[in-house]
Amino acid sequence: MTRMPPVLDPPDRHLRAGAVAAKEKKMSMITDRDVREMVANVLEVNVTEVESETSFHVELEMDSLQKAEFIVALERACDAEFAPADAAEIDSVRDVMRLLDERHRVP
């Protein structure tokens, strides 16, 4: 009778789990104020002009290049990537916070 070796976890399994947890922690640490500052920085406006409900496109006149720059800044801050469909739906700080909350929530 042939004896089978025990099944072991891949050596990086715990490292990957730790990296995921770190990303989730980073996402959960992004505040409304952080997002407002990112938007203000990209648009070169005063942060007081960016409220939670302010439309990036209509009220702040964010163009597609600026939106791409903002999404990249957000991805770097969160250490995550956002699907184009998710990025397309973002038009306010509230939208960003909702998306981060949805991604951080455990199913």
Residue range 36-88, pLDDT digits in tens: 999 999 999 999 999 999 999 999 999 999 999 999 999 999 998 999 999 99
Domain ranges within the chain, ordered by starting residue? 30-104
Indicate the burial class of 54 (C-beta count within 10 angstroms; 0-12, 13-18, 19 or more).
middle
Higher model confidence: residue 7 or residue 67? 67
Question: 30-104 maps to which CATH number?
Answer: 1.10.1200.10
Secondary structure of residue 103 in the 3-state scheme = helix
pLDDT reading at 10 higher than 80: no
What's the distance, Cα to Cα, between the start and end of the chain in Å?
43
pLDDT score of 107: 52
With a pLDDT cut of 90, the percent of the chain lying above it is 64
Mean pLDDT, the chain, rounded, equals 83
Structure tokens at 48: 């007081």
pLDDT of residue 44: 97
Both tokens of residue 5? 């070796």
